[in-house]
Amino acid sequence: MANDERKSEPREELSPERRAFLTWLSLGLSAIAAAVVGIPVIGFIIGPLLVRDRPEWRKVGQISTFAIGKTVKVSFIDSSPMVWAGVSALTAAWLRRLDAERFEAFAINCAHLGCPVRWLAEAKLFMCPCHGGVYYADGSVAAGPPPRGLFKYPVRVRDGQVEILASAVPIE
């Protein structure tokens, strides 16, 4: 009986204008809902791109511990450590004492593809294990594929402490 009554009811025809409106309404609301969810998601994921560089001075040792003319590796906490990073937050530089007051600090990353360069004290050369990039003691390119010399960090001496301005992984 109820079915018969329903069959006898006229079909509800929507006008083309109302159909168009409802189509846009549905799509529009869906787009807004997607944006409400999606924008924070995308922002969260690309967040690291939006953070400004904030280099940090890191103490690497008493000035008296560095001999003039010698190049040594110094380790320090990088410029943006996370509390859960553990040893991954450590980084290093090759520190060279030029004279009583002046130092040079070279990035450990090869300027070719970022591999860790080693200082060969006897040979007075930096060498890269990956593709054989070689640098002189002053960081300039000696041989191999590096397109430029080793990146340098600013160095200063404060209160008898040598400090390096830790910053982003050198990428050009």
Partner 1 sequence: MKNLLKQCVNAFEERTGLVTLFIGIARHPVPPGTGWLYVFGSCVLTCLVIQVVTGIALSTRYIASSGSTYAVLQFITHKAVFGNFLRGMHYFGASAMILLIGVHMIQVFLMGCYKYPRELNWITGVLLLFLVVAIGFTGQLLRWDQDAVWATVLAAEMLGRTPFIGKYLARFLLGGKTLGGATLSRFFAFHVFFLATFILVIVAFHLYLVLHDGISAPPVRGQMVNPKTYRAEYDKLLAERGVPFWPDVAWRDAVAAFIVVMTIAALALFVGPPELGGPPNPSLLASDPRPDWYMLWYFAVLAQLPRHMESVFMLGAPLFAIVFLLMVPVWWNKGERHPARRPWAVIAVITIVLSIVGFWIEGSRSPWSPKFDAQPLSAALVGTTAGPVAVGAQLFHDKACEFCHTIDGNGGQRGPDLTYVAHRLTVDDIKIRIADGGGNMPAFAGILTRDEMDDLVAFLESRSVDRHVQQSRAAAPSASAHSASAERTVSESPR
Binding site for partner 1 (CB under 8 A): 46, 48-49, 51, 53, 73, 75-76, 78-92, 108-109, 112-118, 120, 122-125, 127-132, 134, 136, 142-145, 147, 167-169, 171-172
| Closest distance to partner 1 from the beta carbon of 67 (Å) | 18
Kindly tell me which of 25 and 123 has the beta carbon lying closer to partner 1. Answer: 123
Kindly tell me which of 24 and 46 has the beta carbon lying closer to partner 1. Answer: 46
Q: For residues 159 and 150, give the distance between their C-alpha atoms in angstroms, rounded to a whole number.
A: 28
β-bridge partners, 120: 125
| Closest distance to partner 1 from the beta carbon of 6 (Å) | 25
Kindly tell me which of 22 and 121 has the beta carbon lying closer to partner 1. Answer: 121
Q: For residues 42 and 26, give the distance between their C-alpha atoms in angstroms, rounded to a whole number.
A: 23
**What is the number of other CB atoms lying within 10 angstroms of the CB of residue 34?**
10
| Closest distance to partner 1 from the beta carbon of 22 (Å) | 30
Kindly tell me which of 97 and 166 has the beta carbon lying closer to partner 1. Answer: 166
| Closest distance to partner 1 from the beta carbon of 146 (Å) | 8
CA Rg value for the chain = 31
Judge contact between 107 and 151, C-beta under 8 A: yes
Burial classification of residue 58, based on how many CB atoms lie within 10 Å of its CB (0-12 exposed, 13-18 middle, 19 or more buried): buried
- In terms of DSSP bridges, do strands 118-120 and 125-127 run parallel, antiparallel, or are they unpaired? antiparallel
